[in-house]
Structure 1
Amino acid sequence: MFGNWLKTTILMAAIVALFGAIGAMLGGASGMLLALLFGGAMNVWAYWNSADMVLRMYNAQEVDEGSAPHFYRMIRDLAQRAGLPMPRVYLIDEAQPNAFATGRDPEHAAVAATTGILQMLSERELRGVMAHELAHVRHRDILISTISATMAGAISALANFAMFFGGRDGDGRPVNPLAGILVALLAPLAAALIQMAISRSREFEADRGGAAIGGDPRALADALAKIERIAQGLPLSPAEAHPETAQMMIINPLSGGGLAGLFRTHPATEERIARLMIMAQAR
């Protein structure tokens, strides 16, 4: 728990520093001050509101025992097994099978799944996936994951502003337009590197924790194999529009190749499956 709080604090500090650097590039000392203030305010806002923002990005609809009884009861049973409060439960009307967890702590958590994953996985496989997401909640991964997603989007927007509108230095002289282009390229890159640094190991831990919660490592392994195979041919529109949120998903939802492959925030699915199968054989 302390480790994740430390990572979150470092991430927030890095983002504020990046905002300050972009502000200095755009407007010298005054621009840096304004950007630092904006970055600090964004951190406070993100802590309290980023989960709801991500859910709105995916047009996620909250469900309860009346509207999605089987799925809701599954989450309730898994949450009890994990020793967690009951999270809010959401469905996303998308064909690609995928799921994520969000929120600032276990008491304010939410889990979301696409309608595609409910249709394409068996009950056993779906339990494995949702147990994985609840493991993220129990490990308190969700705060840093959600904040990094929303802040990376803000950084990208600020970088685009730099490229299109340029700025002036402390003496009022126009900034070199190449500098604005460089900021526009490097700021999203820095955000992607921050996300990549925090995401890979935690997926292995969530796989391990989810297998323990669900009691069936092979079910999660089978689910990962099926999701990986199906998701490659089905785009997830909100993730394509907001790629900074891709690191929240159980499987990388993005269809882009080339340079995008350099910034995968998930370990290789084959390695995740291999580790789960070792767990299954040891039971």
Structure 2
Amino acid sequence: MNHLKTFMLMAAMSALFVGAGYLIGGTGGMLIALVLAAGMNLFSYWNADKIVLRMYHARPADASDPHPVIRTYVADIQALALKAGLPQPRVFVIDNPQPNAFATGRDPAHAAVAATTGLLEMLSREEIRGVMAHELAHVKNRDTLTMTITATLAGAISAIANFAMFFGGGNDRERPGGIIGVLAISILAPLAAALVQMAISRSREYEADRVGAEIAGDPQALASALEKIERYAKGIPNVEAERNPATAHLFIMNPLSGRGADNLFSTHPATANRVKALMELGVRMGVKPRPVTAVPTGGERRSANGPWG
């Protein structure tokens, strides 16, 4: 059902894009828009992972890293990927105090996963495993390509809307929608594209939670991690994400605000709903409940100096 919903939403995004081009420039405008979108999608398909990783200054991590927490992090991802039947992804660390993580890449053979130093400092090993299993679930489900395409289409629709605003005063005979259609597209198309993008993101997060919990074998660890990430992230800004808000949907938790709500303007489901679904999954999997690790109230780390001191 989630895959069908995603397909339908992407079809709606594509139809919106084609319709915007047609209303603004008729058949010619539609063809130009399609050529532009094809070029953008092709470039994103081959280079999206490099662009995102460079954007967040991610650095490679491997089993020879001098920090034991990073060595454990790399080893756990390798073990989780093997369990999930995935090729070994490239592993990265982002020097950022906000706890968060994301996956990128056009397919499982070209995937990369990244976690912030804040995540590695603030969460337990089991919780980190749960988070990274969630990211590997995105790779397994090929969500990274889906989200790249929708983000590219959303950007293209916004570009068309801006074009309409600046060049909408031409000959109305070339524009089936006339000036009213141009104004409507200029205002409503970017909003509709953003809503579709957010809906796709939310649907894929629930599925990645489920598959990730099954890969790690511990739904409660991921639930606990989500609660901690949400609480910490509220008070720790992610400067790079604020500069590039179009990438917010890639992270396990919204890096822009650190809060979530199941409404039209949220890129992520409400954390409480995700935790509830994970705990119910744990019952179905027969995982014995255990006491949840308390969420610190301040900026405490798992060790006095953190794994980087």
For the residue of structure 1 that corresponds to 2:57, the secondary structure is coil
Mean Cα deviation higher: 189-198 or 121-130: 189-198
- Please say which of residues 151-160 and 202-211 is displaced more in the overlay: 151-160
Say if 2:230 and 2:253, in contact at 8 Å, map to a contact too: yes
Q: Which residue of 1 aligns with 2:41?
A: 43
Measured after TM superposition, the shift of residue 177 of structure 1 is 7.2
Count matched residues.
279
Q: Partner residue of 2:57?
A: 59
Q: How many angstroms apart in 2 are the aligned matches of 1:49 and 1:16? A: 21
What is the match of residue 275 of structure 1?
277
Q: What is the CA distance between 1:156 and its match in structure 2?
A: 2.5
Distance 1:256 1:90 in 2: 22
Shift of 1:171: 4.5
On the 8 A contact 2:9/2:196 being kept in 1, the answer is no
User: 2:301: which partner in 1?
Assistant: none
Which shifted more, 200-209 or 162-171? 162-171
5+ long unaligned stretches in structure 2: 288-309
Provide the residue aligned with 1:126 in structure 2.
128
TM-score w.r.t. length of structure 2:
0.77
Q: Which runs of structure 2 are paired with 1:230-241 in the superposition (5 Å)?
A: 230-241=232-243
* More displaced 10-residue stretch of structure 1: 184-193 or 119-128: 184-193
Distance 1:72 1:167 in 2: 56
Normalization by structure 1: what TM-score?
Answer: 0.84
- Which residue is 2:153 aligned to? 151
Cα deviations across residues 200-253 of structure 1 (Å, max 9, x unaligned)? 233222212212211222111110000011111222223323323222211122
| Residues 1:33 and 2:35 are matched in the alignment | no
Q: Is the 8 A contact 2:81 2:136 kept in 1?
A: yes
Residue 226 of structure 2 corresponds to which residue in structure 1? 224
Out of 232, 247, 250, the residue aligned to residue 248 of structure 1 is 250
Identity %: 56
Does structure 2 retain, via aligned residues, the 8 Å contact 1:96–1:117?
Answer: yes
User: For 1:51-103, what per-residue CA distance to the aligned partner results, in whole angstroms no more than 9, with x for missing partners?
Assistant: 32232332322333334423221211111121111011122222211111122
CA separation in 2, counterparts of 1:111 and 1:190?
30
**Selected match of 1:86 from 85, 88, 93:** 88
Q: Compared with structure 1, are the counterparts of its residues 197 and 262 closer, same or farther at alpha carbon in structure 2 (3 Å cutoff)?
A: closer
Distance 2:193 2:137 in 1: 25
CA RMSD of aligned residues (A): 3.1
Task: Tell me which protein shows more helix as a share of its residues.
Answer: 1
